[in-house]
Structure 1
């Protein structure tokens, strides 16, 4: 049986292209696992875990791109070792890789190492760019998603951080960080 796995990193990205390619490759709709998550490891991706658990000996898991399936060479090797031990194959459509052959396994290992290298280079460039922007005085961090004024208001009304977090749909730690920012800004004033 063909089982499909599709992933995008953010909720504003679309899975449509990956879904269409997997369906065209013969994956049935009910055997398609999709998620919008940027997990660094397989453990951080619940739909991937469901996909892996669903696969049985003789099945093949399909993904459109290698970086959609594994986030590092180590992650890739761990996933493939698990699949291989259970008699489950893996195919990567865009790179024409099939782990049911020795050549496919070799190609996949090489591409996995290259993907990990590219990820490291991209992170390094990002750090360099941020450092250069800070040196020029033009760096602007991402705007906080936490409404500090609302945290201040809820706290002033006597609401506990746990309650404020639940009301705002954020973590308790985020509320505590906002309260620390409020306290620091009032102390500086």
Structure 2
């Protein structure tokens, strides 16, 4: 190896643990001082640890070791672009749980062919999974609707004495607060329904 080994580990939230990934990186031979971590979403690459690693630490000839591909990111198209940028920098990549992607000691042609095939396959698999999830969601909604289950906020029921009490309020016989109290309504709910029902309230005055 002409360069140094660096490791990268990531979890999505601050309450998740990096121990399992760090142990795997150490077992591979990465010194703990050379392991960079992030506790941030993998939706893009705007992460402090990763950007520091890529822009200020990695050099041509170095090897970047990651336990699992999804620790690098979640979007396979973005990962593919990032992968190509690292390759242009002269950085080799090792994915411990997916050895077929390892670029160390491979020719440029092998690196390109393997990466393209694997990423196309992963992107296809991810898209099929998204389609399956959408189909399951659609089936679930259809079944729920057939059973009479309704989605969204439950419509606020209007009390039987609503119009009568509102008329007293509009006629000045009682305050708005007294009206809300009699109807058992909170301020926001009361004014929301008043606004919606004003034509009917006026008609009944």
TM-score between the two structures when normalised by the length of structure 2: 0.60
Aligned position for 1:133: 140
Separation in structure 2 between the aligned mates of residue 13 and residue 6 of structure 1, nearest angstrom: 12
Change (3 A) 1:116 1:27: same
Aligned position for 2:69: 66
Contact 2:10/2:38 (8 A) holds in 1: yes
Aligned position for 2:192: 187
Separation in structure 2 between the aligned mates of residue 52 and residue 15 of structure 1, nearest angstrom: 20
Equivalent residues in 2 for 1:21-40, closer than 5 Å: 21-40=24-43
Aligned position for 1:164: none
Residue 117 of structure 1: how far off its partner (Å): 2.1
Residue 140 of structure 1: how far off its partner (Å): 7.8
Residue 122 of structure 2 is aligned to residue 110 of structure 1: no
Change (3 A) 1:114 1:36: farther
CA-based RMSD: 2.8
Residue 106 of structure 2 is aligned to residue 99 of structure 1: no
Residue 85 of structure 2 is aligned to residue 82 of structure 1: yes
Structure 1 portions without partners, runs of 5+: 142-181
Aligned position for 1:157: none
Q: Which entry has the higher C-alpha Rg, 1 or 2? A: 2
With 111-120 and 55-64 compared, the bigger mean Cα shift is at 111-120
What secondary structure sits across from 1:3 in the alignment? Answer: strand
Residue 60 of structure 1: how far off its partner (Å): 0.8
Residue 187 of structure 1: how far off its partner (Å): 1.3
What secondary structure sits across from 1:42 in the alignment? Answer: coil
TM-score between the two structures when normalised by the length of structure 1: 0.65
The size of the alignment, in residue pairs, is 148
Residue 90 of structure 1: how far off its partner (Å): 1.0
Structure 2 portions without partners, runs of 5+: 153-186, 195-205
Contact 1:72/1:113 (8 A) holds in 2: no
Aligned position for 2:169: none
Aligned position for 2:163: none
Aligned position for 1:123: 130
User: Alpha-carbon deviations, 1:70-103, whole Å to 9, x = none?
Assistant: 4334323322222222221111111113223133
